[in-house]
Chain A
Amino acid sequence: MTASRADEDSLLVEQFLDGSLQAFNELMAAHEDRVFGICLRIMRDREAALDAAQETFLTVYRKAEKFTGESAFSTWLFRVATNTCYDQLRKIKRRSADPLPEATDPADPQSDMAFLAVELRPDLQRALATLTPEFHKAIVLADMEGLPLQQVAEVLGVPVGTVKSRVFRARKQLAEALRNQTTDSERRNGDNNA
């Protein structure tokens, strides 16, 4: 995020707190794709991600006065988004025996619409689903959304060193999960051929 973006956000937050809905709309427009991206990575379902993004912006609308300005607005926003997503996942978990949304609904193979094409490969989805929430958050923010480690640390409220450690270990677990799937798949193919 550029300094000018951060400055602009700060100004818009001030204007919003002064009663300007236009400022709120501009904040939303500036960050909605990123917020939706984070939500989609965590929720793994476009509809659920849309719900979470909606709740995120409503939280911002309701609680903007709680933004202290100590971090960038985007950092605060991404923290709200991340927390909202995990809250919603917990609700889903409570409602269903199925702990997380199925990760097997990626792009519609009949559609070549670009927005659907960003869905993840099923094997990667499954591998990501094996990560603990802490590791998952870290890898989503750092490796998938490309946030600087410092900002990830601020979003998650942990030291940078912890983020580094989580990202490193998350990648390691991810690689192991991917390899295990390959091995399982090869074993199944071997059984079928036998």
Chain B
Amino acid sequence: MITMHDHDLDLVAAYAEGSATGAEAARAREWISSCDVCAQELDDQQLALASLADVGPVVLSDIERALLHRRVRESIAGEELATAPPARPAPRSGMWVKVLTGSAAAVLILVVGFGVVIPAFTGSDGGADFAAETAATIAAELAQAPSAELATNDDSSIASDAAGVSEMAPPPVQAFGDLTLEELTVMAAPIEMFDATDATVAAFEESPRDAPLPADRMAYSRALEEPLTCLDEGLGLLDGEVLWLGIATLDGQVIELYRSTPTLLALEAGTCTIVFPTE
């Protein structure tokens, strides 16, 4: 079939792949030693296969996986809403009373300076009213994601233009430039603490600037420009500057991260339940 001459180049390909049987391999070797076309074809096949052999399996990162799930979930939910009867439940107004009240309390209680964690609030209605079963089931799946992984800008030369950060719409990734690297590090550090024991919290309190964000946790991605649900859902109503930091996972939960001066807010992505500061 592939032959351009008398020899079966399928067999040459199989020999290059290593899938030829003993007898086939012997026959292929014989051809290759006496046939320039076969030898050239073998070289080509082996070069291509060797190049492709370096290609590892592709795996979604935690963040990409979360984004994929969210986008699918939201598209499905949107379609369901579009086809559903008009009287759908209103989105979580009760929860946002908790969010706003709790955040105000947190701001009062928190240590002034670079955000050290203390108390706050928890819980919500669990998002049961969020676009029906779709969100709930996929959120449950999201909760199975691996451990915390913070994604943020890897640009260390960050400017200090604060324009636009308090707008309702999430800022584009370039707006990460509104932070200094020091601020970013300090604000991200609490996420690190969730990976460790409470002892880490104490260490952080003693020396917040010694809690760097490991380089391997920092990955720029255009995907991070994806609008974040919780900002749309009401964080933008908070007094003061609210700056989107990114998305991460925490104890297997996908969370959204915001800076709400002077601390960090982390909300479970599916339900917008505040998971940091902790109670």
Contacts and interface: CB of A to CB of B under 8 A. Distances in A.
Interface in A1-41: 21-22, 25, 28-29, 32-33, 36-37, 40-41
B218 A144 contact: no
A152 interface: no
A148 to B, nearest CB: 11
Given A21-B133, A25-B137, A54-B68, A175 B44 contact: yes
From B10, B51, B61, residue with most partner A Cβ within 10 Å: B51
B217 to A, nearest CB: 9
B67 interface: yes
Interface string A36-66: 1100110000110010011001100110000
Contacts of B61: 113, 115
A90 to B, nearest CB: 21
Contact of B219 (A29, A36, A113): A113
A30 B238 CA distance: 39
A79 B218 CA distance: 35
A113 B216 CA distance: 6
Contacts of A22: 137
A111 B63 CA distance: 15
Nearest to A47: B222
Contacts of A54: 68, 71-72, 75
A171 B49 contact: yes
Q: Label chain B's interface by main secondary structure.
A: helix
B58 interface: yes
Given A164-B10, A168-B13, A178-B47, A111 B141 contact: no
Contacts of B182: none
Contacts of B223: 46-47, 50
A117 B56 CA distance: 8
A58 B58 contact: no
A111 B154 contact: yes
B16 to A, nearest CB: 8
A47 to B, nearest CB: 5
Interface in A87-125: 108, 110-118, 120-121, 124
A100 to B, nearest CB: 17
A46 B65 CA distance: 12
Interface string B121-152: 00000000000011001101100000000000
A179 interface: yes
B98 to A, nearest CB: 28
B6 interface: no
Contacts of B216: 111-113
A172 to B, nearest CB: 5
B43 interface: yes
B68 A53 contact: yes
B1 interface: yes
Contact of A115 (B9, B60, B69): B60
A164 B67 CA distance: 36
B2 interface: yes
A36 B43 contact: no
A161 interface: yes
A147 to B, nearest CB: 13
Contacts of A41: 58
A116 B219 contact: yes
B41 A172 contact: yes
From A41, A115, A117, A121, residue with most partner B Cβ within 10 Å: A115
Interface of A: 21-22, 25, 28-29, 32-33, 36-37, 40-41, 46-47, 50, 53-54, 57-58, 61-62, 108, 110-118, 120-121, 124, 127, 139, 143-144, 161, 164-165, 167-172, 174-176, 178-179
11 contacts: A21-B138, A22-B137, A33-B58, A50-B64, A61-B72, A115-B60, A118-B57, A144-B52, A170-B48, A175-B45, A179-B47
Given A58-B76, A144-B52, 19 more contacts: A21-B133, A33-B58, A37-B57, A37-B58, A50-B71, A54-B72, A54-B75, A61-B72, A110-B154, A110-B215, A111-B154, A111-B216, A111-B218, A118-B59, A164-B1, A168-B10, A174-B47, A175-B45, A175-B47
